[in-house]
Chains A and B, each alone.
Chain A
Amino acid sequence: MGGLKETAIRSVFFSCALVTVLTTLGIILVLVQGSVGFFQEVSIVEYVTGTDWSPVIQPRSFGVLPLIWGTLIITVGSALIAIPVGTATAIYLSEYADPEVRKVIKPTLEILAGIPTIVYGFFALSFITPIIQRVFPETGTFNAAAGAIVVGIMIIPMVSSLSEDAMSSVPDDLRNAAYGLGATKFEVSTSVVFPASLSGVIASYILALSRAIGETMAVTLAAGMHPQITGNPLEPIQTMTAYMVQIGISDVSVGSIGYQSLFAVGLTLFAMTLAMNLFSLWIKSRYREEYQ
């Protein structure tokens, strides 16, 4: 009798855990099923090689490359900011800062990660773009540079926080051994601590880049809704996520090719971030340095 009740309770909790597995299955099912119709009308070759993206407006064309390009510009641009700044911040916090200083700075930086991305979008429009326009007056209201800068700021704490954790877990024995050989603090930081924590540091880079790829509201507001392949960061672009927002707020009819394209782009986005997240986990477990 009591055993029956225990079994029932256990099953309730098990079902809660099962929801997470069902969520993953649901995501994959929804994305695949939603894009089947799309890929029946559009050949995969056209999708991945076409350089024109216009699924809703005539003449229609379904080349996803401009969206991938836009996403890539934002990702690379934000990485150019977040990786050096985040890594140097992590080294400062882990190797140089007083414990008291670290206790204040680390949570302060993490506030950056807690600010809603829509607020970053606003910040880009009202603060960053006007600054860019002062330097380059031909810059439009929507431009890739502002999007990349603001996403870069947003992912700094991801790089700095996770890298700092990795650097702090390098045991002091390694540092002391290097000091004993006459190394300076600079040499210890860059030649001992940094390489020893490399797996954690690289994992943090990949996670931050994955976040940049999936980031939505800031790039929609800042970088615009103009799918094009351009090397000029002062021009507007469109990322995969911004396209999804565009369809989300428009009223394309359910079942139309425009509606289906939403799921095709969603599937592409999901596949890219999933690959990066798995890669990050793999690096972390494969190259983890074990210290006692």
Chain B
Amino acid sequence: MSAETPFSEGVEDIERKRKIGRAFVAICFASTLVGIVALVALIADVLYESWGWVTWEFLTYPPSQVVENFLPDGRGAGIYPALVGSIFLIALTAVFTIFLGVGAAIYLEEYAAESRLKSFIEANIANLAGVPSIVYGLLGLAIFVRAMQLGTSLIAGALTLTLLILPIVIVSSQEALRAVPDSQRQAAYGVGATQWQVIRDVVLPRALPGIMTGTILSLSRAIGETAPILMVGAATSLFVAPDGLTSPFSAMPMMIFEWAGHPEPEFQHIAAAGIVVLLTILLLMNLVAILIRNRYDPRT
């Protein structure tokens, strides 16, 4: 014992600590890879299953009960009514969301004083963001489909999706409005503008890129939502595209749900083909949002 230096115990300890440290980094790094590997596996699985099934016919033909029609050399069957339904649904939702979401954000950021009312509304919005989407489906079913007698229509679906994504759109629009420097508002007031003129001509144009980015991102979330439109009564097998606000509709997630549940193995490929179409549109929407952000980002 006397032969050992006073530091030998410490040296061993450092060695042990180094080992623990290296093992810990390795575990943390491996965990980070779990999510990425899962993402790669998911995309690879979908592409593998759908390979050769996403054809022009798949995009332009109505669905069929007969598997053979979907085959790449079959008579032709596909996702067309649901594709058009999803596009209509998102366009309508966009109109309602932009109006309500930006309006609410303007009220909260530009008009409301720091009051109990404002913090109540904001706390309420934060809570709404955590309500499961299927509950919004029940709300839509009871209010839009039954009470307002819109039936299982495109507009009932769009209104339901609007309420679902409204909290996210409001919060992101608020951030965009908050990012407009106060000096610009004061300058406009200084030359005699009214509050509405300040908002319309000074604040909104500058906040627009941020508002659009947030809105497109939440719309891309809405386009993949199944549960709420399912509760509202979106059709699983509709053979014509919707042609008006009150016509029945299907949407891509509903078709995918229908196909994925079929026992015949071919429907796996068909569901995967539907997913590829859905994810492509989602990706394009995200791309647009990123482009807008990069194009107008004041920091770049």
Contacts and interface: CB of A to CB of B under 8 A. Distances in A.
Contacts of A19: 100, 104, 163, 166
B72 to A, nearest CB: 19
Contacts of A189: 24
Contacts of B240: none
A262 B102 CA distance: 33
Contacts of A273: 130-132
Contacts of A156: 34-35, 38
A244 B231 contact: yes
A189 B282 CA distance: 37
A210 B35 CA distance: 20
Given A14-B111, A248-B231, A270-B131, A122 B260 contact: yes
Contact of A20 (B125, B227, B236, B272): B125
Interface in A233-284: 241, 244-245, 248-249, 254, 262-263, 266, 269-270, 273-274, 276-278, 281
A217 B253 contact: yes
Contacts of B131: 27, 214, 270, 273-274
Contacts of B268: 125-126
Contact of B261 (A120, A211, A221): A221
Interface in A112-133: 112, 114-123, 125-127
Interface in B17-58: 17-18, 20-21, 24-25, 27-32, 34-36, 38-39, 41-42, 45-46, 49
A245 B279 CA distance: 23
A116 B278 contact: yes
A21 B147 CA distance: 19
A266 B110 CA distance: 36
Nearest to B44: A127
B209 interface: no
Contacts of B236: 249
Given A30-B143, A115-B279, A248-B231, A123 B132 contact: no
Contact of B135 (A96, A122, A214): A214
A17 B120 CA distance: 11
B260 A221 contact: yes
Nearest to A266: B138
Interface stretch (A43-51, A53-61, A103-111, A171-179): A103-111
B132 A241 contact: yes
Which of B38, B101, B137 has the most chain A CB atoms closer than 10 A to its own CB?
Answer: B38
Query: At the interface, is chain B mostly helix, strand, loop or mixed?
Result: helix
A185 B225 CA distance: 43
A92 B230 CA distance: 39
Nearest to B112: A17
Contact of A115 (B34, B42, B99, B271): B42
B275 A216 contact: no
A270 B126 CA distance: 15
A23 B139 contact: yes
Nearest to B256: A118
Contacts of A16: 99-104, 106-107
B195 A109 contact: no
A116 B127 contact: no
Given A6-B195, A216-B227, A88 B260 contact: no
B245 to A, nearest CB: 20
A24 B20 CA distance: 50
A184 B17 contact: yes
Nearest to A120: B42
A70 interface: no
A127 B42 contact: yes
Contacts of B136: 27
A111 B39 contact: yes
Interface residues of A, number: 88
Nearest to A96: B25
A89 B256 contact: no
Given A17-B103, A19-B100, A116 B133 contact: no
A15 B108 CA distance: 11
A207 interface: yes
Nearest to B42: A123
B157 to A, nearest CB: 13
B220 interface: yes
Contacts of B39: 108-109, 111-112
A2 interface: yes
A13 B103 contact: yes
Nearest to B269: A126
Given A88-B28, A109-B36, A10 B111 contact: yes
B294 interface: no
B45 A127 contact: yes
A267 to B, nearest CB: 9
B132 A119 contact: no
8 contacts: A13-B111, A89-B32, A96-B29, A116-B278, A190-B24, A210-B130, A269-B134, A281-B127
Interface of B: 17-18, 20-21, 24-25, 27-32, 34-36, 38-39, 41-42, 45-46, 49, 99-104, 106-108, 110-112, 120-121, 123-128, 130-139, 142-143, 146, 163, 166-167, 170, 194-196, 220-221, 223-227, 230-231, 233, 236, 253, 256-257, 260-261, 268, 271-272, 275, 278-279, 282, 286
Given A10-B111, A270-B131, 7 more contacts: A16-B107, A17-B104, A17-B112, A17-B170, A109-B32, A270-B135, A278-B127
